[in-house]
Structure 1
Amino acid sequence: MNLNFDNATKIMTKDLEEVRKLLALGKIHVCIVGIGRIGLPTALSFANSNLPTIGVDINANLVNMINSGEFPLKDEPGYDLIFDNVIKNKTFRATTALEEAVSKSDVILLSLPTPIDESNTPNYSALESVSKKLATLISPGSLIIVESTVEPGFIENTLAKILQSENNNLVIGKDFGLGVCPETANPGEILKDFHSLPRLVGALDEKTADIIMEIYKHVFPVELIKMPNCKTANAVKLTTNVFRYINIAFVNELAILCEKIGIDIMKVLEAADLKYNFQIHYPGPGVGGPCLPANSTQILHSGKLFGNNLLRMVSLSQEINDGMSSHVIFLTQDGLKKVGKTLENSQIVILGVSYKPNVKDIQVTPAEPIIKKLQALGAKIKIYDPYFKSVNVFGIKVDDSFINAISGADAVILITAHDEFRDLEPSIFTSKMQTPIVVDTRGIIDTHAAKKAGLIYRGIGRGGN
């Protein structure tokens, strides 16, 4: 399949009216570098707006799957239809060849991962590596947009210097444009978010920001907010996620207090949510995913540039949230103690390994540290997750049946609140398990029903059961 790319339009040499006309005619050619969880839906959105789009990724299997017409994100509702449409209309294809894609594109959009490395430091190597290549590939008149989440100042202080290399003699704002539009989508709900959540735009100069605004206005039916610069836009992205991260830490501490007092935190939160200025957050076994844990580390990294005493609340929140895996182990041990057992040689079933409900994604999942701690204490681990049936996860083959997984088990730990688990009757545990011990880390099991069914029930913050 070949997209019909004409000569580059040199978008940064056009005025806004010319940009609008080119967009309407489908004459702006787009390259999305990084077509993973967020990048692929982004690329499909651009292609669905009738802009010829190439997706670039180093994962050859992913590229081949896409080009053969197989949609890889089965847990992203709505995008399967968009995928079929853009493949049929030949407005989208994928490649592993960055050089080919960039040479045919007016707009290069970067949707690359920015994870945290083993030393707990933001890892921008993917962005930096691609940008070094772009510095030798971009043509005058090109536009580069960064959607990846980075800390404030990274674009101005690092990426701009890489792109404005001595090797190309191109000047930002004169020969090419550089700006940001941080992604804000929630995995599993990306299409909904792309059609409802406002987007922030920042750039190194006013004209670039205005052109990015026009492009995103053409693709996404949402409010666009122009920020003063790139670092402000990136700061907003981190602020919203770290705000949530801190509030989860507070609720996690409150949950442990509720256990000690004998209060059900779910009742507390439900009532508190009736107050107009309360924003509800729920306790859990830890905070997972590629965003919240990484974003807290990114903002701490920024703070440390100005002294170690900045953002102490974020640092404490990390300590609290990371410590919840140990609390889950404590609750499990407490349940086993009631029947005279310990973790050693006990059969423990993990229900759900995805970091969030109803998606197939184990990035920074809180299930991993819990599994590792259980194994270190001699427990035998089984896993059931409807999104990973018969797949090896953390060296364990996931059961293909819920009933098979829990049959004969000593304890079950519910980690992920998949819809399938919300409908479970507590009696199913008492009828199949050797000892019906259930540790509910998500508060989805009714405590009265659990007691009536004869469960030995433990839940984070469920001290009132």
Structure 2
Amino acid sequence: MNLELSKIITLQSDQINSQLNLDSIKVAVVGIGRIGLPTAILFAKSGLTTIGVDINQNLVEKINHSIFPLDDEPGMKEIFNDVIKNKKLIATVDIKHALSQVNVVILSLPTPMTDNNIPDYSSLESVGKQIHDFLCPNSLVIVESTVEPGFIENILIPIIEGQDKKFEAGKSFSIGVCPETANPGEILKDFKTLPRLVGGINNKSSELISLIYSHVFSVDLIQMPNCKTANAVKLTTNVFRDVNIAFVNELALLFEKLGIDIFTVLDAAKRKYNFQVHYPGSGVGGPCLPVNSYQIINSALSNSLPIPKLISVSREINERMPIHTLQLLKDALDSIDKKIIKSTIGILGVSYKPNVKDIQLAPAEKIISELKSLECNIKIFDPYFISTDVFSIRTEQKIEDMISNSDAILILTAHQNFFSINPEIFNKLMKKPIVIDTRGIFDITELNRLKIIYRGIGRPY
């Protein structure tokens, strides 16, 4: 490797810009999943030779054979095809080789939870050890993964430095954060429009990250005083949503009993300038919101500080919503003297959010598990999971196959094309149609006109 390239943290701003324009800065993106792969694609599109690293051999082979794995990300496939064709992006499972070829390492690794709701940073810690072993001296490490405040300073840096002090942060390598902020299903749009946070262990690392990201993304870069503040901002924005969804879910449970339609309330409330609308549902899933709330809680616990009560209670509310959904189902079946045990339940949508192929921490999983314990026959239709196994159930090829002969339909995801479903289909294919709509897909008046038995979260019946 060019000696100058191995010393990126020693270069001045004009030298960095020159290296960027000459494609002399080489990048490895470790973790090429939902966010990491689009990140690697955009870095490659900017002209920088980029290596994607992942332990998933099948994913690596797909990428190297020009098979794009994220068809639910509009506009990204065309860019992917171009950078693969021009050999600006390659993928590998060999992190040792990748780190030997680059002087910028971007970590886009998952940070899930354990079964006890403790953040699991094992992937980052494992890669941190490999960085210690194989990183080129004077390289830059950028963490995009969402972590709690203090993780970089207190855990990751000591791992990279190692007990042998092979490296020293700020001297023989530099490190900082630029937390990802993209919304699954809208990643390219968000990459083009959403500001990014930049925080480093010192001014030099922040400057380097800003120069590199300015070359790749035409968005504002918000300078944070350090890594932990940048990570705190990222968590704050997502926990805000989790808490507000819990607030609306709690109102929804009350309004059901009062005969008030939560969606009518929200439609009027959102017209006030300072009200930011959130919607109720069968639970909050995905790799971000639930995890981020527990990261904040864990941050308090690990520092022997009081647990944030509002966040903790919000988690409890949102985690109870799958059980409330099942109670609505049981209530509707009871209204026609039908027992939920051994009934046939059709599920419409299993993704954790609309318009993406992703079931991470989806509320559907808990609901399906409970239905299995009741010996229910479960049928699933989701346009993103056709004729495939989801939660150990083979999904249906057509929506009609899911509806036909079901005792009740549970709507768990608000995919856009569900809004065009003609509710008359339920009368045609079900003996006594029951619809449990947890996402406000259907108009109550229309379902009542069709004499469909209806229950919905936050909706009168």
- Show the 5 A alignment for 1:373-384: 373-384=370-381
Match of 1:64 in 2: 61
Per-residue deviation, residues 127-146 of structure 1 (Å, max 9, x unmatched): 00010111011122200000
Tell me how far apart the structure 1 counterparts of residues 116 and 331 of structure 2 sit (CA, whole Å): 33
1:342 Cα deviation (Å)?
A: 1.2
- 1:329 matches 2:294: no
Deviation at 1:197, TM superposition (A): 0.6
Percent identical pairs in the alignment equals 55
Q: Which amino acid aligns with 1:188?
A: G
Q: 2:340 aligns with which of 333, 339, 343?
A: 343
Aligned equivalent of 1:13? 10
In the other structure, the counterpart of 1:116 is: 113
**In the alignment, does 2:204 pair up with 1:202?**
no
Aligned to 1:387: 384
Where structure 2 has 5 or more consecutive residues not aligned to the other structure, the ranges are none
Q: Distance in 2 between matches of 1:453 and 1:16?
A: 68
Match of 1:80 in 2: 77
**Contact 2:102-2:136 within 8 A present in 1 as well:** no
> Contact 1:179–1:201 (CA<8 Å) still a contact in 2?
yes
The answer to whether the Cα contact below 8 Å between 2:419 and 2:442 also exists between their aligned partners in 1 is yes
- Is structure 2 residue 296 aligned with structure 1 residue 299? yes
Counterpart of 2:435 (choices 434, 438, 459) is 438
**TM-score, normalised relative to structure 2:** 0.98
| Map of 1:266 onto structure 2 | 263
Q: Hey, what does 2:157 align to over in structure 1? A: 160
Q: Who is 1:148 aligned against?
A: 145
> Take 1:308 and 1:374, find their aligned partners in 2: how far apart are those partners?
39
Q: What secondary structure does 1:371 align onto? A: helix
Partner of 2:170: 173
Distance 1:64 1:302 in 2: 38
Q: What do residues 400-424 of structure 1 show as CA deviations (whole Å, max 9, x unaligned)? A: 1100111111000000111221111
2: CA distance, partners of 1:170 / 1:210: 21
Q: Is 1:255 the equivalent of 2:252?
A: yes
Q: 1:75 offset after TM fit, Å?
A: 0.6
Q: Which stretches in structure 1 are left out of the alignment for 5+ residues?
A: none
Match for 1:69: what amino acid? Answer: S
Q: Whole-Å Cα distance in 1 between the matches of residues 167 and 373 of structure 2?
A: 55
- Determine which of 213, 220, 223 is the counterpart of 1:223: 220
1:211 is displaced (CA, Å) by 0.7
Distance 1:139 1:402 in 2: 53
Alignment check: 8 A CA contact 2:132 2:166 kept: no
Q: Give the Å deviation of 1:373.
A: 1.1
After superposition, residues 38-49 of structure 1 pair within 5 angstroms as: 38-49=35-46
Equivalent-residue separation in structure 1 for 2:398 and 2:339 (angstroms): 26
Which residue number corresponds to residue 241 of structure 1? 238
Deviation, 1:9, is 4.4
In structure 1, give the amino acid aligned to 2:74. P
Equivalent residue letter for 1:31: A
TM-score after normalising by structure 1: 0.97
Q: What is the deviation of 1:168?
A: 5.3
Give the Cα–Cα distance (whole angstroms) in 2 for the partners of residues 321 and 413 of structure 1.
18
1: CA distance between counterparts of 2:348 and 2:309? 34
Once the two structures are superposed, what CA deviation does each residue of 1:182-228 show, in whole Å capped at 9, x if it has no partner? 00111100000000110000010110100100000000110001100
> What displacement does 1:110 show?
0.4
Question: What is the distance in 2 between the residues matched to 1:170 and 1:399?
Answer: 54
Q: How far off its partner does 1:10 sit?
A: 2.0
Q: How many residues align?
A: 460
Contact 2:6 2:137 in 1 (8 A): no
Out of 348, 352, 362, which is 2:349 matched to? 352
